[in-house]
Amino acid sequence: MRSPLPAPQARRLPYGVLVSVVAVLYFAKEVLIPLALALLFSFLLGPVVRRLERWRLGRVPAVLAVAVTFFCFAGLLGWLMVGQAIDLAGKVPGYQGNIQHKIDSLRGHGGSFQTAAHVLERLQQKATEANPSDSPPEKSGDRKADRAADTLAGADANPQPVRVVAPPASPTQFLHNFFGTLLGPLSLIGIVVIFTVFILIQREDLRDRLVHLAGPERLPITTQAIDEAGSRVSRYLRAQVTVNVGFGLLVAIGLFFIGVPNAALWGLLATVFRFVPYIGAPAAALAPLLISLAAFDTWRPLALTVGLFAALELTIANAVEPWLYGTSTGLSPVAVIVAATFWTWLWGTVGLLLSTPLTVCIVVLGRYVPQLEFLHMLLGDEAVVPMEGRLYQRLLAFDEEEASAHVDEYLTEHPVAELYDQVLIPVLNQSQHDSRQGSLGDDRRDFIRQTVRTLVDDLAERPPETLAPVPAADAETHPDAAHTAAAAKALSDTHLPAADLPVRVLVVPVKTDADETAAHMLGHLLTLGRIGNVVLSARTLAQEAVEAVAEHEPAIVCLSAVRPFSVMQARYLAKKLRARFPDLKLLVGLWDPKRASVGAHRSLESAHVNWVVSTFADALKEVCPVVQCLPEPALGSSPEDAEREREKAQKLVDSQP
């Protein structure tokens, strides 16, 4: 039995395969280019063929109808472009007068520069004439040599031109040259048409062969890769064809009303050129700009043509394309440019047009093949590093400004509770872990904690309406959710400022500054939910925490602990509070959803803790039904009514587990 490859060889194997693949693509391009074009057309025409099949039309008639219609229409457009180009070639000589007129007008505006140049030239001549002695004296020998040279030059003063006249081509040679020029493009078109028809007819059979070629153990992965690549490329091509055809029509119509000759030709060229990423639209605008410059004796058509292309491209690129297909290709902007350069070097102009669809297939391949995952990471548009990783990197680099920018960017699409759970708490946990492993210095650890605390304080000072609301209690998890919502509404109707809300929750950091920062996160979320709370300091002793509970009489006490350092301290504090207040509702937050420990949870539950949670979202689901069952009395109610409401709510709280 053959031994497996060592790890270094296994890592080098895909790169060798890639080099071989690139070599095959380059040397076999005469065969592969028609095949790639046929695959492209099959992705574009496949949905139309399937639609006709659903209308009870057979596979072969549907394919032939779609292929004949598409390629005949493409041929008609090509013939129209050739006719327009021939017509334009006959008009170009008549534009010489307009071009000369514009050159003369530019010279007229540049008279001041010409005057300055003449002045400098005269000054140089005077300086040369003022010092005739600077030139070296002539020798007699030199004068004789000059006269001899003049004599020889006079002999060749009137040279006779020499021309090489080729013999006229024979009819056979003329036909050979003419059809030889057309044979290459015509053969390419014929091969593409045949490949497209057979791929559309045999698409299921070809797909099954590719799937089974990868092996039965890779059947699910290969199927997903083929389906995803096909859907992405097909969606991209349909969107691009729609956008580019619309762009070409608008260009043709706009140039027609401006008066630019052969507007249909420029519209067709604009449609084709815009398939080229980024530079296609400027390249399509170049020829109409030159024609508008040459065909008119004024500058107004040139300005209108520039405005037409600029307005269309800005509107389509910034409004139409994001709305129509967004980032359906899954490629980063840099990957599009690199792919265009690579495929142009490999296959020329055809490679430039095919660069985006082919690169989409490569990115999908990298997603499903582990050895080629680096291609997906380099070329894909998905974030390689998650938000918490990027924020942690910036904090390690002492870059507070970019860290704050990352937080603001995250809040544009996510609620603040998710920011705390998915970003800031993992950053604190990672700093704790790295500090414990000795790979993080005290200066960076303290900077990370202080910066995260500053970010939390900044969010707490923002208006609540600028942040996402706190999620309401789940009716299935908490049967009293309806009563809770009514109680919350009664509390919000009092219109009390956040600082004047009655204290319902006491948040106690267990040990470290990280515990205190997490406690302030929970306090901020409770304040957003209109729940009065007090957050103690991490320097608070256990006895002082007991006295604070006796002072504020909260409905629930939340112990805040950021792992891995504070679990035992949380258990000790929970036992001390339970001994003094047997009926106290006690919740412990071990803020580390990615490293939740069953042993730590059991250890805390043995201390008679009511709830042990690892996320702020879970904490709010447990806290809100308890504290919002004890609302403040509505304004204007009597003390007796308020007391009855308190007793009723307290019974409801006591009945909860």
Share of the chain above pLDDT 90, in %: 3
Share of the chain above pLDDT 70, in %: 69
Q: Band of the pLDDT at 251, cuts 50, 70, 90?
A: very high
Whether the CB-CB separation of 355 and 339 falls below 8 Å is answered with yes
Buried b (16+ CB within 10 A) or exposed e, 490-505: bbeeeeeeeeebbbbb
Helix (H, G, I), strand (E, B) or coil at 505: strand
Give the C-alpha distances (Å, rounded to integers) separating 484 from 184, 495, 553, 624, 626. Answer: 78, 18, 20, 8, 8
Residues in the chain: 657
The mean-pLDDT minimum among 208-212, 243-247, 379-383 falls in 379-383
Say yes or no to pLDDT of 473 above 80.
Answer: no
Q: How far does CA 432 lie from the centroid of its chain?
A: 32
In whole angstroms, what is the distance from residue 302 CA to residue 291 CA?
9
Whether the CB-CB separation of 380 and 364 falls below 8 Å is answered with no
Instruction: Write down the mean pLDDT value for the chain.
Output: 75
Average pLDDT over residues 619-642: 60
pLDDT digits (tens, 9 = 90+) for 232-242: 778 778 888 88
522 or 379, which is more confident = 522
Task: From the options 3.40.50.280, 3.30.56.10, 1.10.3720.10, 3.30.1360.120, give the CATH code of 476-655.
Answer: 3.40.50.280
pLDDT score recorded for residue 177 = 60
Say yes or no to pLDDT of 10 above 70.
Answer: no
Alpha-helical (H) ranges within 158-274 are: 171-201, 203-213, 219-258, 263-273
Give the C-alpha distances (Å, rounded to integers) separating 386 from 164, 226, 354, 406, 414. Answer: 72, 27, 32, 11, 14
Say yes or no to pLDDT of 11 above 70.
Answer: no
pLDDT score recorded for residue 596 = 57
Say yes or no to pLDDT of 653 above 50.
Answer: no
Contacts of 35 (CB under 8 A, 6+ apart): 195
pLDDT digits (tens, 9 = 90+) for 537-575: 888 888 888 888 888 888 889 998 886 667 788 888 888
In whole angstroms, what is the distance from residue 615 CA to residue 421 CA?
6
Average pLDDT over residues 464-470: 61
Which of 62-71, 98-107, 154-163, 390-399 has the highest average model confidence (pLDDT)?
62-71
In whole angstroms, what is the distance from residue 298 CA to residue 308 CA?
17
User: The domain 387-461 belongs to what CATH superfamily?
Assistant: Methionine synthase domain (1.10.1240.10)
Say yes or no to pLDDT of 490 above 50.
Answer: no
pLDDT score recorded for residue 478 = 42
Q: Band of the pLDDT at 164, cuts 50, 70, 90?
A: low
Residue 136: CA count within 13 A, CB half-sphere: 4
In whole angstroms, what is the distance from residue 594 CA to residue 589 CA?
14
The residue extents of the domains of the chain are: 7-83+187-201, 237-379, 387-461, 476-655
Q: Band of the pLDDT at 250, cuts 50, 70, 90?
A: very high
pLDDT score recorded for residue 254 = 92
In whole angstroms, what is the distance from residue 12 CA to residue 8 CA?
6
In whole angstroms, what is the distance from residue 614 CA to residue 623 CA?
14
In whole angstroms, what is the distance from residue 36 CA to residue 39 CA?
5
- Side chain identity, residue 47: P
In whole angstroms, what is the distance from residue 546 CA to residue 560 CA?
15
Q: Band of the pLDDT at 187, cuts 50, 70, 90?
A: confident
Average pLDDT over residues 248-257: 92
pLDDT digits (tens, 9 = 90+) for 72-112: 988 888 888 888 888 877 777 777 777 777 666 666 555 55
Backbone φ and ψ for 62, nearest 5 degrees, come out as -65, -45
Q: Is the peptide bond before 564 cis (omega within 30 degrees of 0)?
A: yes
Residue 284: CA count within 13 A, CB half-sphere: 30
pLDDT digits (tens, 9 = 90+) for 326-354: 445 667 777 788 888 888 888 888 888 88
Say yes or no to pLDDT of 271 above 80.
Answer: yes
Average pLDDT over residues 576-604: 77
Angle at the Cα of 230 from the Cα atoms of 226 and 233, rounded to 5 degrees: 140
Nearest C-alpha neighbor of 378 from the set 409, 351, 342: 342
Whether the CB-CB separation of 645 and 633 falls below 8 Å is answered with yes
Q: Band of the pLDDT at 253, cuts 50, 70, 90?
A: very high
Average pLDDT over residues 50-73: 88
Give the C-alpha distances (Å, rounded to integers) separating 446 from 402, 467, 509, 512. Answer: 18, 28, 17, 11
Q: How far apart are the first and last CA of the chain?
A: 62
27 or 107, which is more confident = 27
Residue 596: CA count within 13 A, CB half-sphere: 10
State the DSSP string of 20-41. HHHHHHHHTHHHHHHHHHHHHH
Whether the CB-CB separation of 473 and 481 falls below 8 Å is answered with yes
Average pLDDT over residues 56-61: 86
pLDDT digits (tens, 9 = 90+) for 506-530: 899 988 888 889 899 988 888 888 8
Tokens of 563: 């792992």
Q: pTM for the whole thing?
A: 0.55
pLDDT digits (tens, 9 = 90+) for 312-323: 888 887 777 766
